[in-house]
């Protein structure tokens, strides 16, 4: 047992923290807010040059071959800095293609993903279907050797800058994942406005003709694999949440130590100390259930229970910590000049990503087998 | 980073678990429920003797003094397994008094006290609080004055739980009346059969008996003062740090959760298995999650001790988290049991009435052992560096 990062892992986190602190300045964020991609080209090139976009991908496709546990620590730092969410989207899409794609698809796309030249976006959610593939209304049909894709996917992370989409579609009685380049005729991408102002898209597929080589793995059998990918991404997003919560606690300690009312620093008031300590109590468990879940996935241990616990707890904790931080910052933390709002909006939004708190508690209840099926 | 026990830790856990499976019987658990805190019954005494024989009673003590020399994580594993089996708890002599004697006592004091504690011949109650000195412990006024080679003790202690069954009392007294209030306190051992002691019972909401204890010119030999004069307040705080491995352990909740799962799987209400009712499922999953979080914070506290860190912040976090979870667990569990959840401790009550019992002791766990508000101040000031004034 070793409940802390090793020295090498700490070095990963420290380098990431230094880079993100230097890059994510307030002025630059305001520019990014107004840009279509949510970041700028120079930033993206620098991120790619550090190897982050292929950090968890194997070396034979241009990745760094890092373990999920190391990747989780990198993502904790992205959460701490509320870094542009495109980084998470690119990492998530790369991992999804690595898990689902054919060798040819991986060779064709992942080296460019790792170099930051393109991005593969996972497109599974629909308005009426999230985790039950039988309910997908996106459909793959066949005429001879030609495939045809029709439907609409929502909440596609970083869809606006994606070079290809990994689309889950109903295919007869099964589920098939196809890789669809964004420029294929019949594909249209519309930005959607979201709480945390990240770059999500609605992607529409209208009579999109695809070759059979677009199919990822064996047709009609994608669901269990897709479910596992979703579980892994749910665990990784917990790292973002725990890192973000840590940053909010830090900024709250700092702010209450500076702000004076009634002639005293806020941090000297007992009520304030009690609230800040409560934030620390919740955060401690969140950090470790998140790391535990990711570590178990990295080591190939059974992790269904731990992932469900991590996602339900970190989602709740980050959200609650940001709300308490707003209470302690007052107006100072309510204005867009202050970074707190980025955390509080990201917290609630990320709580919903890959299944919200209540959804994962329901999954956990299933795992407990409390009643005969 | 490694969120898994080492093979040695797994072997230790399995050894403790196997021992508990053999020796913690239903009869022993029934005897413990019956006895409350009116002293150990014959089965509990026999169980303790088995622990002495294996050397497990002093699990965290150095081997030189008859202990096992186990580190903090191994102690955590031991406590978790004992709690999960519903075994008799480690007492304060072992977890609180002895570690202080080990650290601060003279060689003569160690030789004199540790073996009898280890063999259960000496059993301590702990007397810190007074009616006007609770959370502000350093305000205590019970005094000890040196008269020749004896300390003469006068005053009154409150919440001196176990004083009516203990052989000895571990008492915080003021020995340096002219020193500043935190620096004038010492720890003295008083045998309970010394003349001049009066013990008055006080009964609490959880049926646990505690006591008010009066000292009227009680005389003990000079070498009953342990460690340095004037350091008693700091020893008391240190002893609480030792206790937090135990207070921050969610082993008992793991046991109750397992029993609750069995109950909802087997029990029907209005024709439906409880475990199929949506709100019951939701509540059970929530408890499963919270107990796992508690396990993580408790383990972290123990692990940091083994890294040579004094986990002031993490110890307080574990104490707060687990004590507040106890209250939440008891209330939610009783919601699930319905009116059967408020039945007293009898054999027909679900989970032997343990949840309504937990409901009554949960407030004590939050304000006892250093109130949770004090723990939060410790986290804020010592853990996060927030200012004192």
Among candidates B289, B294, B386 on the partner chain, residue whose Cβ is nearest the Cβ of A273: B386
Tokens of A292: 């535990």
Catalytic residues of B: 243
CB of A4 less than 8 A from some CB of B = yes
Average pLDDT on B193-220 reads: 96
Which of B275, B303, B377 lies nearest to residue A273, judging by beta carbons? B377
- At A31 the pLDDT is 94
pLDDT at A162 over 90: yes
- Assess whether pLDDT exceeds 90 at residue B67: no
How would residue A229 be classed by pLDDT, with cut points 50, 70 and 90?
Answer: very high
What is the band of B344 on the pLDDT scale with cuts at 50, 70, 90?
confident
Round the average pLDDT of chain B to a whole number and report it.
93
Average pLDDT of the segment spanning B316-324: 96
Q: Which residues of A touch B4 (CB under 8 A)?
A: 1, 295, 299, 301
Nearest chain B residue to A290, by CA: B293
What percent of chain B has a predicted confidence (pLDDT) above 90?
A: 78
Q: Which residue of B has its CA nearest to A282?
A: B321
Q: By C-alpha distance, which of A213, A216, A239 is closest to A297?
A: A239
Best residue of A67, A264, A275, A277 to probe chain B, by most B CBs closer than 10 Å: A277
Question: How close is the nearest chain A Cα to the Cα of B313, in Å?
Answer: 9
3-state secondary structure chain B: CECCCCHHHHHHHHHHHHHHHHHCCHHHHHHHHHHCCCCCCHHHHHHHHHHHHHCCCCCCCCHHHCCCCCCHHHHHHHHHHHHHHCCCCCCHHHHHHHHHHHHHCCHHHHHHHHHHHHCCCCCEEEECCECCECCCHHHCCCEEEEECCEEEEEEEECCCCCCCCCCEEEEEEECCCCCCHHHCEEEEEEECCCCCEEEEEEECCCCCEEEEEEEEEEEEEHHHEECCCCEHHHHHHHHHHHHHHHHCCCHHHHHHHHHHHHHHHHCEECCEEHHHCHHHHHHHHHHHHHHHHHHHHHHHHHHHHHCCCCCHHHHHHHHHHHHHHHHHHHHHHHHHHHHHHHCCCCCCCHHHHHHHHHHHHHHHHHHCCCCHHHHHHHHHHHHCCCCCC
Assess whether pLDDT exceeds 80 at residue A197.
yes
Tens digits of per-residue pLDDT, A3-19? 999 999 999 999 999 99
Which one is predicted more confidently, A373 or B220? B220
pLDDT band at residue A233 using 50, 70 and 90 as cut-offs: very high
Q: What is the pLDDT of residue B53?
A: 83
Residue B32 has a pLDDT of: 87
Nearest CA in chain B to A6: B1
Q: What percent of chain A has pLDDT over 70?
A: 100
Q: Which residues of A185-204 are buried (b: 16+ CB within 10 A; e: fewer)?
A: eebebeeeeeebbbbbbbbb
The pLDDT of B60-80, averaged and rounded, is 91
Q: Which two tokens stand for residue A329?
A: 């910052």
Q: Which residues of B touch A309 (CB under 8 A)?
A: 288-289, 292-293
* Chain A nearest C-alpha distance from B214 (Å): 35
What does the mean pLDDT of chain A come to? Answer: 96
Chain A nearest-CA distance from B384, in A, is 7
**What is the pLDDT, as a whole number, of residue A94?**
98
How far is B378 from chain A, CA to nearest CA, in Å? 9
Query: Could you tell me the pLDDT band of residue B15, with boundaries at 50, 70 and 90?
Result: very high
Taking contacts as CB-CB distances below 8 angstroms, the residues of chain A near B292 are 289, 305-306, 309
Task: Give the residue from B289, B297, B304, B313 with the most A CB atoms within 10 Å of its CB, the best one to mutate.
Answer: B289
pLDDT of A269 reads 97
Q: What is the pLDDT of residue B89?
A: 81
Residue B149 confidence (pLDDT): 97
The H-or-E segment that residue A23 falls in is: helix A7-23
> Quick check: A312 contacting B, CB < 8 Å?
yes
Collect all residues of chain A within an 8 Å Cβ-Cβ radius of residue B264: 370-371
Whether pLDDT at B94 is above 90: no
For residue B92, pLDDT beyond 90: no
The pLDDT, as a whole number, for residue A12 is 96
In degrees and rounded to multiples of 5, residue A210 shows phi and psi of -130, 145
Question: Is residue A361 within 8 angstroms of chain B, CB to CB?
Answer: yes
- pLDDT attached to residue B97: 92
Q: Do A285 and B288 touch (CB under 8 A)?
A: no
Q: How many whole angstroms separate alpha carbon B51 and alpha carbon B68?
A: 11
Residues of chain B neighbouring A292 (CB-CB closer than 8 A): 3, 296
Q: A315-326: string of b/e by CB count within 10 Å (b at 16+)?
A: bbbbbbbbebbb
- The values of phi and psi at residue B125, to 5°, are -100, 160
CB contact under 8 A, B286 and A257: no
CB A365 to CB B373 under 8 A? no
Give strand pairing partners of A147. Answer: A142, A210
Q: Rounded to an integer, what distance in angstroms lies between the CA atom of residue B215 and that of residue B140?
A: 14
CB B213 within 8 A of CB B197: yes
pLDDT of residue B90: 78
Lowest mean pLDDT among A59-68, B170-179, B196-205, B360-369: B360-369
* pTM for the predicted model, two decimal places: 0.95
Mutate to test the interface with B, among A285, A307, A314 (most CBs of B within 10 A): A285
B3 and A292 within 8 Å at the Cβ level: the answer is yes
A-B contacts at Cβ under 8 angstroms = 154
When pLDDT is averaged across residues B135-141 and rounded to a whole number, the result is 95
Please determine, for residue B346, whether its predicted confidence score (pLDDT) is greater than 80. no
pLDDT at B333 over 90: yes
How far B375 CA sits from the closest chain A CA (Å)? 9
pLDDT of A187 reads 98
Q: Report the C-alpha gap between B316 and B73 in whole angstroms.
A: 17
Q: In the prediction, which pLDDT does A230 show?
A: 96
Residues in chain A within 8 Å Cβ distance of B297:
284-285, 288
The answer to whether residues A215 and A176 touch, using CB atoms and an 8 Å cutoff, is: yes
* Chain-chain contact of A277 with B296 (C-beta, under 8 angstroms): no
């Amino acid at each position: 047992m070793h409940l802390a990062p090793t020295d090498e892992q700490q070095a990963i986190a420290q380098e990431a923290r230094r880079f993100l602190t230097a890059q994510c300045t307030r002025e630059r964020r305001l520019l990014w807010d107004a840009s279509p991609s949510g970041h700028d080209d120079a930033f993206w090139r620098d991120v790619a040059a550090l190897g982050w976009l292929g950090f968890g991908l194997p070396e034979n496709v241009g990745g760094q071959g890092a373990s999920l546990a190391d990747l989780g620590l990198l993502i904790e730092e992205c959460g701490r800095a509320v870094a542009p969410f495109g980084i998470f989207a690119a990492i998530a899409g790369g991992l999804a293609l690595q898990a689902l794609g054919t060798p040819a698809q991986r060779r064709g796309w992942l080296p460019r993903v790792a170099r930051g030249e393109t991005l593969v976006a996972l497109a599974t959610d629909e308005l009426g279907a999230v985790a039950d593939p039988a309910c997908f209304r996106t459909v793959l049909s066949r005429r001879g050797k030609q495939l045809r894709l029709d439907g609409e996917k929502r909440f596609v992370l970083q869809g606006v800058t994606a070079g290809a989409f990994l689309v889950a579609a109903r295919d007869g009685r099964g589920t098939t994942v196809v890789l669809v380049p964004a420029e294929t005729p019949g594909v249209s991408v519309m930005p959607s406005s979201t709480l945390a102002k990240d770059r999500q898209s609605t992607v529409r597929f209208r009579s999109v003709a695809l070759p059979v080589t677009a199919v990822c793995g064996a047709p009609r059998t994608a669901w269990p694999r897709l479910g596992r990918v979703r579980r892994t991404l749910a665990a990784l997003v917990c790292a973002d949440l725990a890192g973000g919560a840590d940053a909010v606690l830090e900024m709250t300690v700092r702010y209450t130590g500076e702000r004076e009312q009634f002639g005293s620093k806020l941090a000297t008031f007992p009520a304030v100390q009690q609230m800040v300590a409560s934030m620390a109590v919740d955060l401690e468990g969140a950090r470790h259930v998140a790391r535990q879940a990711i570590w178990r996935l990295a080591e190939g241990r059974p992790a269904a229970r731990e992932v469900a616990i991590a996602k339900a707890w970190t989602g709740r904790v980050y959200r609650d910590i940001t709300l308490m931080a707003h209470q302690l910052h007052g107006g100072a933390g309510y204005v867009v000049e202050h970074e707190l709002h980025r955390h509080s909006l990201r917290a609630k939004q990320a709580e919903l990503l890959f299944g919200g708190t209540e959804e994962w508690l329901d999954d956990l209840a299933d795992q407990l087998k409390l009643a005969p099926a | 980073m490694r969120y898994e026990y080492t093979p040695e830790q797994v072997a230790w856990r399995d050894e403790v678990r196997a021992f508990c499976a053999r020796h913690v019987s239903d009869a022993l658990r029934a005897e413990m429920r019956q006895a409350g805190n009116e002293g150990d019954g014959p089965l509990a005494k026999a169980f303790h003797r088995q622990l002495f024989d294996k050397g497990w009673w002093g699990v965290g003590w150095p081997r030189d003094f008859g202990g096992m020399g186990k580190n903090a994580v191994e102690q955590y594993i031991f406590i978790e397994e004992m709690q999960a089996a519903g075994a008799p708890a480690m007492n304060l002599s072992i977890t609180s008094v002895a570690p202080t004697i080990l650290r601060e006592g003279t060689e003569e004091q160690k030789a004199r006290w540790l073996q009898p504690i280890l063999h259960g011949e000496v059993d301590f109650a702990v007397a810190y609080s007074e009616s006007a000195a609770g959370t502000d412990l350093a305000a205590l006024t019970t005094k000890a004055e040196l008269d020749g080679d004896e300390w003469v003790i006068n005053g009154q202690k409150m919440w001196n739980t176990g004083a009516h069954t203990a052989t000895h009392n571990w008492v915080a007294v003021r020995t340096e009346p002219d020193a500043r209030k935190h620096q004038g306190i010492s720890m003295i051992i008083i045998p309970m059969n010394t003349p001049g002691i009066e013990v008055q019972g006080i009964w609490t909401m959880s049926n646990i008996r505690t006591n008010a204890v009066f000292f009227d010119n009680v005389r003990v030999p000079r070498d009953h003062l342990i460690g340095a004069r004037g350091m008693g307040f700091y020893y008391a705080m240190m002893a609480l740090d030792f206790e937090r491995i135990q207070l921050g352990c969610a082993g008992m909740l793991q046991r109750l959760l397992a029993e609750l799962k069995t109950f909802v799987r087997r029990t029907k209400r209005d024709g439906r298995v409880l475990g199929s009712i949506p709100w019951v499922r939701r509540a059970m999953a929530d408890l499963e999650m919270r107990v796992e979080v508690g396990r993580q914070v408790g383990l972290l506290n123990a692990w940091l001790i083994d890294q040579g860190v004094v986990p002031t912040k993490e110890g307080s976090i574990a104490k707060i988290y687990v004590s507040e979870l106890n209250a939440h667990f008891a209330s939610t569990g009783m919601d699930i049991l319905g009116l059967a959840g408020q039945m007293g401790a009898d054999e027909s009550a679900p989970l032997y009435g343990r949840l309504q019992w937990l409901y009554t002791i949960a407030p004590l766990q939050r304000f006892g052992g250093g109130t949770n508000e004090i723990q939060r101040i410790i986290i804020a000031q010592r853990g996060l560096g927030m200012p004192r004034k």
